[in-house]
Amino acid sequence: MNALVAGLVSAVILGLGGWFPSPPTALPVAPPLSIAPVAGIPEPCPARHPWHSSATPAVTRTTMEQAFGLQLTGAGWTDPANRPLVKIVWETLDAVSCTSYLDDVRRNSGQRVIRIHAGPTRSWAWGDWGLTNPGRLTFDFAKWHSAYPSDKGRLVRIVIHELGHMHQMKPAGHQADLDSFRALYSRHGGFSKYGRGSSSETMSEVIGYYVSRCALDNPYDRAGASQRAYYEWAKNSVFKGVEFGPAPGVRPEC
């Protein structure tokens, strides 16, 4: 009798099997993007390509090329002594990854990839665009070492500054932005100690310091009319509303 009852119960359960709701199947969820501290940048974009501290220098170079659309040349990228400097470049590029900056640089310069050489420059400059190596950025890591302990923000500014020269090469649909900057420059003049007398250098400085708010002697630490005007231009014309620190006149916590 017990066996019969058990059989009937089993049959009923099987018959109603389609009636009982199946347990929900969890859909895959993308891991949240993290906002990790970045040297020189108080409010970076969420990290899309976190720094791989355990990777070899050769793997790091290859990963950087693939992640950020680069072509890296020169022995400086794989010299273990330059590891902290390579990290600065990596994290600076990742810190602007939620904006169109790197895509705009590639489009305006007409380059499918951004070519960066790690080696000595031909002058006192710590970095240049096209002067030491035509068609390439050059970063002189040997000079960078002297600033690394005390002013990492300066190195961030150099990366964004030199990319800024590529950004302004061809209008490519942003002629109005370039014209508006020239109008600002004619009204306000120089921005930092470097680049006075040059609209092109001033533009790169305005962009570089906008990202690298922790750089020492950042002009945006002041809230004058020129600082506010240049800040708003960089915010709206280059980074489409994304900010990397507080408003002009407010010193970030670095």
Give dist(CA 228, CA 249) in Å, integer.
9
For residue 205 the two structure tokens come to 């400085």
Looking at residue 22, its pLDDT comes to 44
Considering the entire predicted model, what is its pTM?
Answer: 0.85
The dihedrals phi and psi of 238, each to the nearest 5 degrees, come to -105, -45
- Taking Cα atoms as reference points, which of 137, 144, 11 lies closest to residue 74? 137
> Quick one: average pLDDT of 68-91?
98
CA distances from 58 to 16, 80, 118, 215 (A): 61, 10, 14, 29
End-to-end CA distance of the chain: 80
* φ and ψ of 21, to 5 deg: -65, 140
CATH annotation of 36-238: 3.40.390
What pLDDT shows up at residue 254? 87
Rounded Cα gap, residues 237 and 174, in angstroms: 8
Give me 233's structure tokens: 């231009």
Among 66-70, 192-196, 232-236, 241-245, the minimum mean pLDDT is found in 192-196
What pLDDT is stored for residue 243 in this prediction? 98
State the sign of the Cα–Cα–Cα–Cα dihedral 118, 126, 85, 102: negative
Where in the chain are the domains? 36-238
State the pLDDT at residue 173. 66
Per-residue model confidence as pLDDT tens digits over 41-54: 999 999 999 999 99
The answer on pLDDT for 34 being more than 50 is yes
How far is C-alpha 11 from the chain's CA centre?
A: 64
Over residues 151-202, the pLDDT tens digits come to 999 999 999 999 999 999 876 667 888 899 999 999 999 999 888 889 999 9
Q: What is the DSSP letter of 233?
A: H
Digit-coded pLDDT (tens) for 82-126: 999 999 999 999 999 999 999 999 999 999 999 999 999 999 999
User: What pLDDT does residue 8 have?
Assistant: 38
Mean pLDDT of the chain: 88
Beta-sheet strands, E only, within the chain: 70-73, 114-118, 127-129, 137-139
pLDDT level of residue 218 (50, 70, 90 thresholds): very high
